[in-house]
Amino acid sequence: MTGNDTRRLALLKFLRSAWTNVSARQIAKEFWLPLTLATAWSLFNVAPLEANIATLKNFINVLGGSFFFLSWINGQWLRIRKQIRTDNLLNSIESRVTNTLEQLTSRTDEIIAQITGGDSFCYLMPLAGRHGNLMLIQKGPHPVYDVSVRICDIDSAEALRNKHPEWLIVDGKPKTDQFYKWEGPHIPGYAMDTEAALDLVEGRVRSFNIFMFARNGAFTQQIKVFTADGERYVATQVLKNVSLGVRAKVFEQIDEKFPRDADGTIKWR
């Protein structure tokens, strides 16, 4: 192998190594088009070609200006295209992150609701009979836990307050109230008979307030019961204590034959 062959082989290795380099490939990718167009434009401007110094200078001057101008335009185009790809990629990442966070939030809320009860609640409904026991009914998609109940007999409390107010409170508790606790869990669709009962009077509307406390907050059930000819008619609504002094109605049930006031409404107490 001669010296020329050795130099030629070394040059080929250098060119191959340079081409495999990422920077070199990127440079060739970005500048081959401006160089080609600038060369063509330069040849067009200096035609006809003459083998002299003046023609060479003119060619180099036109080539240099054209090449840098076209390189700048090409660089701007590549930058804008890259920026668009980057923006699309960032938007895609943001969308996936947002979707993941929403799913995480939703599943976290669901876990908390399964533990606390979420927006579910329980309410009481009287069974048939003058002293019919109350049935505890769960309503909502999540189980309810640790239900503490205070049943306030409004009519009996008012009557006792008017006649013997000193008898109204016994051992720090209203004499006319009943207190119970049912731990649960009270699963969706759950209903059970309880030992609690309402004192119902034939031919009269009896009013009660039922205060309930569970893991997911406090609820107030207002209930009116009318009995006539062995039939029982009920009007009730459940209010959730949203904040101090603010309550939201979450349930209402009124039997069609329940007696209403003259204006067709029911006055809750």
At 158-192, the pLDDT tens digits run 777 766 665 556 666 677 788 999 988 899 988 99
The answer to whether residue 261 is domain-embedded is no
Give 176's DSSP letter: T
Residue 152 sits in the same domain as residue 247: yes
The alpha-carbon radius of gyration of the chain (Å, integer) is 44
The answer to whether residue 188 is domain-embedded is yes
The answer to whether residue 259 is domain-embedded is no
The answer to whether residue 145 is domain-embedded is yes
The pLDDT value recorded for residue 18 is 59
Helix, strand, coil percent content, the chain, rounded in steps of 5: 45, 30, 25
> Mean pLDDT across the chain, nearest whole number?
82
7-46 burial, b for 16+ CB within 10 Å, e for fewer? eeeeeeeeeeeeeeeeeeeeeeeebeebbebbeebbeeeb
The pLDDT value recorded for residue 135 is 92
Which of 114, 139, 162 is the last residue before a domain boundary? 114
The pLDDT value recorded for residue 15 is 63
The pLDDT value recorded for residue 228 is 83
d(CA 260, CA 269): 14
The pLDDT value recorded for residue 141 is 93
pLDDT, tens only, 95-120: 999 999 999 999 999 999 999 999 99
The answer to whether residue 11 is domain-embedded is yes
The tokens describing 75, both together, are 């660089």
Residue 96 sits in the same domain as residue 127: no
d(CA 38, CA 35): 5
Residue 187 sits in the same domain as residue 224: yes
Residue 206 sits in the same domain as residue 102: no
Cα 12 to chain centroid, rounded = 63
Which of 45, 80, 114 is the last residue before a domain boundary? 114
Let me know: does 161 contact 213? Beta carbons within 8 Å: no
Residue 137 sits in the same domain as residue 238: yes
The answer to whether residue 268 is domain-embedded is no
Residue 156 sits in the same domain as residue 59: no
Residue 91 sits in the same domain as residue 138: no
> pTM here?
0.65
Residue 127 sits in the same domain as residue 239: yes
Domain that holds residue 79: 3-114
Three-class DSSP category at 264 = coil
Instruction: Enumerate residue ranges in the chain where pLDDT < 50.
Output: none
Residue 69 sits in the same domain as residue 187: no
Residue 15 sits in the same domain as residue 82: yes
Residue 23 sits in the same domain as residue 107: yes
Number of domains composing the chain: 2
> How far, in Å, are 28, 75, 237 from residue 120 at the CA level?
67, 62, 15
